[in-house]
Amino acid sequence: MHELTTADIEHYVLTRRQEGRAAQTISHGIIYLRGVVEYMERLDYQVPTIKFPKIKVQNQRIRSLNRDEEIRLLAELEPTNTRYYKKLIPFADKPELMKQRQDN
């Protein structure tokens, strides 16, 4: 741990971004690393002075469907709903489409 540098932390962040990880996931990793360094310091181990980067996390509100929207969505996904697929596909493909709609 005493050889860990700020550059190593920056490399970790860059690698995680290239892997396609979300900002929140990277932030959790940084928090974990910071906790390890602080814990090692409390145990009187030699630890480096590291500047941990701030990761911007977009906190967006997750919207849920209301009851009416949920009912309409489930009605559209009902496998027996012929309103749309009846006109769009040949008769032979209907059983497969019904299985897909049921999975949805």
Q: For the segment 68-94, what is each residue's pLDDT rounded down to a tens digit?
A: 999 888 887 776 666 766 655 555 566
pTM above 0.75, yes or no: no
Ranges of each domain in the chain: 1-58, 67-103
Return the sign of the alpha-carbon dihedral for residues 98, 100, 103, 104: negative
Output the pLDDT for position 73: 86
Using 70 as the pLDDT threshold, list the residues of the chain that sit under it.
Answer: 79-82, 84-94, 97-98, 101-104
Locate 43 and state its tokens: 């145990």
Output the pLDDT for position 69: 92
1 contact partners, CB below 8 Å, separation of at least 6: 36, 37, 40, 45, 47, 48
